[in-house]
C-alpha cells in the first residue's frame, strides 16, 4: 500500500519535473541559451561551474536534469502522501500551498549551496512562474489518480 502510494507520488513528481523543466528551457530560450537555467541546477553536484555553462554540456546538463528530476520526484511523493486523497478544489488548494512551502524551503531554509540555482539566471517573476507551473502540474497529475470516473484515472500495476 505504501509502496503504491510512493510510486504514484514519484510519477506525479516526474510530471512536475517535465513541466518545470519545460518552463526553465523556455525562459532560457528567450535569453538565447535554452539550457542555462536547467544547467544551473547542477551546482548542487558540480559546484559553481554549473552557473556559467550556457550550452549543452554532457556532464553539467545531465547532472542538472538528474538533480531536477530527483528533487521533484521526492516532492511529488511527499505531496501525494500528504494530499493524494483530496478531490476537486481542495486538491488545487493543496497543490498551491504545498508548492509555496517548497519555494519557502528552497529559498529560506536550504543553504544557497542546495538551492535550485535557476534563480541566478531568471527574474523573480520567472521563478514564480516556474513554481506556478509546478503547482499546476501537481494538481493535474494528482487528478489523474483521483478523478471521478475509472476511465479518467491512471492505474499502476504493482
**Structure confidence by residue, pLDDT tens digits, 72-125:** 999 999 999 998 788 889 999 999 999 999 999 999 999 999 999 999 999 999
Give the whole-number percent of the chain exceeding pLDDT 90: 83
Per residue in 120-153, pLDDT tens?
999 999 999 999 999 999 999 998 877 644 544 5
Global pTM?
Answer: 0.89
CA end-to-end span of the chain, whole Å? 10
Asked if 149 contacts 110 with a C-beta cutoff of 8 angstroms, the reply is no
- The full set of domain ranges for the chain reads 2-152
How far CA 90 is from CA of 32, 35, 86, 117, in Å, comes to: 39, 35, 6, 31
Compute the distance between CA of residue 15 and CA of residue 76 in angstroms, rounded to an integer: 9
Compute the distance between CA of residue 84 and CA of residue 43 in angstroms, rounded to an integer: 31
Amino acid at each position: 500500500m505504501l509502496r503504491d502510494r510512493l510510486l504514484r507520488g514519484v510519477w506525479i513528481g516526474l510530471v512536475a519535473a517535465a513541466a518545470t523543466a519545460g518552463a526553465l528551457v523556455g525562459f532560457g530560450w528567450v535569453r538565447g541559451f535554452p539550457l542555462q537555467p536547467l544547467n544551473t541546477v547542477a551546482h548542487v553536484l558540480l559546484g559553481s561551474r554549473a552557473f556559467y555553462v550556457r550550452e549543452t554540456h554532457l556532464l553539467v546538463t545531465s547532472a542538472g536534469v538528474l538533480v531536477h528530476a530527483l528533487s521533484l520526484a521526492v516532492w511529488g511523493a511527499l505531496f501525494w502522501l500528504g494530499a493524494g486523497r483530496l478531490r476537486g478544489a481542495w486538491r488545487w488548494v493543496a497543490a498551491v500551498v504545498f508548492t509555496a512551502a517548497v519555494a519557502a524551503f528552497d529559498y529560506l531554509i536550504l543553504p544557497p549551496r542546495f538551492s535550485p540555482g535557476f534563480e541566478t539566471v531568471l527574474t523573480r517573476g520567472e521563478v514564480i512562474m516556474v513554481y506556478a507551473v509546478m503547482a499546476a502540474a501537481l494538481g493535474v497529475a494528482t487528478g489523474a489518480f483521483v478523478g471521478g470516473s475509472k476511465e479518467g484515472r491512471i492505474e499502476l500495476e504493482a
